Amino acid sequence: MVKVGIVSYGAYVPRYRITPEEIGKVWGVDGKGMGRGLYILEKSVPHPDEDVATIATEAARNMLARTSVPADRIGALYVGSESHPYAVKPTATIVATAIGASPRMTAADLEFACKAGTAGIQVSMGLVGSGMAEYAVAIGADTSQGAPGDALEYSASAGGAAYLIGKKDLIAVINKTVSYTTDTPDFWRREGQPYPTHAGRFTGEPAYFRHINAAAKMMMEDVGTQPSDYQYAVFHQPNGKFPTRVAAGLGFTEEQVQTGLLTPRIGNTYSGAVPIGLAAVLDVAKPDDRIFVVAYGSGAGSDAFDITVTDGILEYDRDAAPTVSKLIEDPVYLDYASYAKFKGKIVMQE
Amino acid sequence: MASVAREWREIPGRYNTVGTKCGACGKIYFPARSLCPKCRRASVGKMERYDISEEGEVYTFSVVHDAPDANMRMKPYAVGMVKTTDGVLLTGQIVDIDPHRIEIGMPVRTVLRKIYEDGESGVIHYGFKFVPKW
Residue B92 sits in a domain whose CATH number is 2.40.50
Measured between CB atoms, which of B11, B74, B112 is closest to A48?
Answer: B74
Judge: A98–B74 Cβ closer than 8 Å, yes or no: no
User: How many C-beta atoms lie closer than 10 Å to residue B29's C-beta?
Assistant: 18
Report the percentage of chain B scoring pLDDT > 70.
99
pLDDT in the model for residue A1: 62
Which of A84, A114, A198, A211 is catalytic? The answer is: A114
Query: Is the predicted pLDDT of residue B69 greater than 90, yes or no?
Result: no
Distance, CA of A256 to CA of A315 (rounded, Å): 25
Mean pLDDT for each consecutive 10-residue tract of chain A (350 residues)?
Answer: 92 98 97 95 98 98 98 98 97 98 98 98 98 98 94 96 98 98 96 90 93 98 98 97 97 98 98 98 98 98 98 98 97 97 87
Judge: A51–B124 Cβ closer than 8 Å, yes or no: yes
Judge: B73–A326 Cβ closer than 8 Å, yes or no: no
Which of A82, A153, A198, A211 is catalytic? The answer is: A82
CB A226 within 8 A of CB A285: no
- Per the document, the length of chain B is 134
3-state per-residue secondary structure call for A91-105:
HHHHHHHHCCCCCCC
Distance, CA of A68 to CA of A54 (rounded, Å): 22
Segments forming the whole domain that contains residue B79: 53-132
Q: Give chain A's contact residues with B (Cβ, < 8 Å).
A: 15, 47-51, 53-54, 57-58, 85-86, 94, 97-98, 100, 322, 326, 332, 341-342, 344, 348
Q: How many domains does chain B have?
A: 1
pLDDT in the model for residue B99: 96
Q: If you average pLDDT over residues B107-130, what whole number do you get? A: 96
pLDDT in the model for residue A35: 95
B79 occurs within a structural domain:
yes
pLDDT in the model for residue A349: 77
Distance, CA of A16 to CA of A330 (rounded, Å): 9
- For residue A85, what is the nearest residue in chain B, using CA coordinates? B124
B78 occurs within a structural domain:
yes
Greatest mean pLDDT among A146-155, B69-78, B103-112 lies in B103-112
Phi and psi torsions of B111, nearest 5°: -135, 160
Domains in chain A, CATH or no CATH each = 5-171+326-342 (3.40.47.10), 173-313 (3.40.47.10)
pTM of the model: 0.97
B126 occurs within a structural domain:
yes
Specify whether A82 is catalytic: yes
Tell me, what DSSP letter sits at residue A289?
-
B85 occurs within a structural domain:
yes
